[in-house]
Copies of this chain bind each other. A is one copy, B any other.
Amino acid sequence: MNEANVRETKDRILDAAEALFAKQGIEATSLRQITSEAKANLASVNYHFNSKEELIRHVYLRRIRPMNQARLDRLTDLESNEASSLDNLLDAFYEPTIEMALDLKDKGLTVGQFMGRLYTEPNEAAQSIITTEMGGVARRFSAAFARHLPHLSPTEVIWRVHFSIGILAHTLAAAAKIQHLSDGRINPHDKQEVLRQMKRFARAGLTAPSLESTT
């Protein structure tokens, strides 16, 4: 089982869980399905992860931790650069997620669906990950967006960052819908095109004039 071309049981469980969570949701997926798909024993989940709850956390964190680290690294770079633009900021915010979701061979849409659903997932383990892992990132980026959008009030910035997150989450989670709505003409796997369209829309929304009377 530990030969070079056979991944560890632990990783096979994570991969199988992620794919099944993406396809049918967390609650509809049983440990029996996961271990059967991963060609592992039922008891191995509890051996490696202690419980289904902790397995869920590991599946999410494996993707989110490096993704958010990449975002924050890029943000830090921009903050020490006088010439950085709103466009750079949107790249730093969107690209690591799109990259992670659509780059992984054969499972672009799987990981994307799984990640995009994070925000609307009712499961408690998922909810707590939003608070612990995403909250800080959203705040740091909101502050950075605010510096680029001095014409907006603080709450207007929050509204618009919220919408920008919604665009990302919906594009990842509901990629199949845009394929269907366009009768197949749009390919939601095309990383560069997805990013280009998302940024164009979000930048226009973010820079729109303030709704608050300033005259």
List residues of A whose CB falls within 8 A of some B CB. 23-25, 27-28, 116-117, 119-123, 130-131, 135, 138-139, 142, 154-156, 158-163, 165-167, 169-171, 173-174, 177-178, 180-182, 185-186, 196-198, 200-208, 211
Q: What residues of B have a CB within 8 angstroms of the CB of A166 in the complex?
A: 166-167, 169-171, 174
Partner of A201, one of B25, B163, B180: B163
Known: A178-B158, A204-B208, A208-B204. A173 touches B119 (CB 8 A): yes
Known: A207-B204, A208-B203. A119 touches B25 (CB 8 A): no
Report the separation of the CA atoms of residues A200 and B159 in the bound assembly, to the nearest whole angstrom: 11
A195 to chain B, nearest CB (A): 11
Q: State whether B171 touches A163 (Cβ < 8 A).
A: yes
Copies of this chain present: 2
Q: State whether B211 touches A122 (Cβ < 8 A).
A: no
Q: What residues of B have a CB within 8 angstroms of the CB of A211 in the complex?
A: 196-197, 200
Could you name 26 residue pairs across A and B whose Cβ atoms are closer than 8 Å?
A25-B25, A25-B27, A25-B122, A25-B123, A27-B28, A28-B122, A117-B120, A117-B122, A119-B173, A120-B173, A131-B180, A135-B180, A154-B185, A155-B185, A155-B186, A159-B178, A162-B174, A162-B178, A163-B197, A165-B170, A166-B174, A197-B211, A200-B208, A200-B211, A201-B205, A204-B205
Q: What residues of B have a CB within 8 angstroms of the CB of A203 in the complex?
A: 208
Which of A24, A122, A196 is packed against the most chain B CB atoms within 10 Å?
A: A122
Among all A-B residue pairs, the 4 with the closest Cβ atoms:
A166-B170, A204-B208, A27-B27, A25-B122
Q: State whether B205 touches A182 (Cβ < 8 A).
A: no
Report the separation of the CA atoms of residues A162 and B202 in the bound assembly, to the nearest whole angstrom: 13
A103 to chain B, nearest CB (A): 21
Report the separation of the CA atoms of residues A172 and B211 in the bound assembly, to the nearest whole angstrom: 21
Q: State whether A186 touches B170 (Cβ < 8 A).
A: no
Report the separation of the CA atoms of residues A24 and B123 in the bound assembly, to the nearest whole angstrom: 7
A90 to chain B, nearest CB (A): 13
Q: What residues of B have a CB within 8 angstroms of the CB of A186 in the complex?
A: 155, 158-159
